[in-house]
Amino acid sequence: MSHSSSPASLSKLRLIAVLAVSQLVGWGTTFDMPSVLGRAMERDLGLPFETIFGGLTAMMIVMALASPRAGRLLVRLGASRVMAMGSVLMAAGLTVLSLSQGLVSYFAAWLIIGLGGTCALSVSANTAVVERQGAAAKRTIGTLMIFTGLSSALFWPILSHAESAIGWRASLQIAAAAHLILLVPLHCFALPARGDVLALSASAREGAKPLPRLDARGRLHAFLLIASTSSLNSLTSFGISASLIELLKLAGAAPALALTLASLRGVIGISARLADLIAGERTSPVVSGLAASLAMFGAFLMLAAFPASSFVVPLLFVLLYGAGSGVAAVARALLPLSFFTREDFATMSSNVALPQNIASALSPVIFAAMMENFGLKGVIALALTLTFLTCLSMAGLGLLKARAEASGPALS
């Protein structure tokens, strides 16, 4: 028993280690990067600061539009090859960005980075796990997301020191080299072969809950509910995260307290992901996602109902919102696995990524506009509406799954 479990454990550990490095570098050198290098790029390129961050919007929109095509590539070529292609594209995009001289070359670089992100970031990484573990992938994906949630905490100081020492352009060129020299070989040669983990995790797969039996109409309903749930949640999470400090200030928190609580949100989110991971098979992505959505709805309801005359209300808000958004991020990634087979996971996840990434790209602008024009009440009203609709969509998924499981034998 121990002889057979040891190779399985080593293969799983290698899978998590390779993908954790891949996602930390991937997100840390792209999406997280302008928060540190943005001001230097603004000064050098002569572009407004909001235009610098517009590169992230361009990246997310490209990732959204290209995701269905990436899903087909994942099915045909497998995650390993597609992620290697993505690393090459992100290296090319970062190189172009390091050489950019104005608006056109700046956004051209972000378009290339967006194509690379489509191939190398979250959906492809999750697909790599599902290819190797099938329905038993929940714990591995949850573990992976705990590590990748640390990308900004790791790369903000690294990029800050690099920019101070060698400038933003050389820093980006070193980041591009990391994608080529480190990530391409990892994706091509270090990931366990598809059969390695599958063959050695039979007991985990046998313990995985069977999928509900869905006809064509049920599959369509499941996809639409997953897409709406993921998009609504992303719209809330990305919009609030981008304006959380200002939101807490409007709610009555002093600037120093607002900054401290906003920084605490990431730690709370990761802790909540860890608690959800420990809960393991006693929960499901549908149950966890519904609980997370209710926590976020409760957070905004509390902020609307009680005046923030002390630090207690902002603190409780950040605790509820941080925990809810952290668990919701894992649930979003795992929902397709609750309704569709391993073979369908890449296609379904990539199709869901289209509306979800568009929501992520537009949400900071939408929430900033609401804050500017309608203040705290407008932001809370929008957030309450979105989180309530998310709860309804998630509850619909739960009813669909319960009805399908009760209607007949489950799929194998």
Q: How far apart are CA 42 and CA 37, in angstroms?
A: 9
Residue 243's pLDDT is what? 80
Q: Which of 202-211, 342-351, 363-372, 401-410 has the lowest mean pLDDT?
A: 202-211
Q: Does 8 have pLDDT greater than 90? A: no
Of 222 and 310, the structure prediction assigns the larger pLDDT to 222
Q: According to the model, what pLDDT value does residue 4 have?
A: 47
Determine which helix (DSSP H) or strand (DSSP E) holds 331, and give its type and residue range: helix 312-339
pLDDT confidence tier of residue 87, bands split at 50, 70 and 90: very high
Residue with more model confidence, 287 or 2: 287
Query: Based on C-alpha coordinates, what's the Rg of the chain?
Result: 21
The answer to whether residue 410 scores a pLDDT higher than 80 is no
Q: What is the mean pLDDT of the chain?
A: 87
Predicted local distance difference test score (pLDDT) of residue 280: 66
Q: What is the pLDDT of residues 14-42, one digit of tens each?
A: 999 999 999 999 999 998 899 889 989 99
- Domains in the chain, CATH or no CATH each: 2-203 (1.20.1250.20), 209-407 (1.20.1250.20)
State pTM to two decimals.
0.83
Mean pLDDT of 62-70: 93
Q: Tens digit of pLDDT for each residue in 367-385? A: 888 888 898 899 999 999 9
- Residue matched to tokens 């609307």: 304
Burial of 216 (0-12, 13-18, 19+ CB in 10 A): exposed
Token pair recorded at residue 14: 């290698």
Is residue 250 very low, low, confident or very high in pLDDT (cuts 50, 70, 90)?
confident
Contact 311, 253 (CB under 8 A): yes
Q: Which residues of 177-208 are buried (b: 16+ CB within 10 A; e: fewer)?
A: ebbbeebbebbeebbbeeebbbebbeebeeeb
Q: What's the start-to-end Cα distance of the chain, in Å?
A: 25
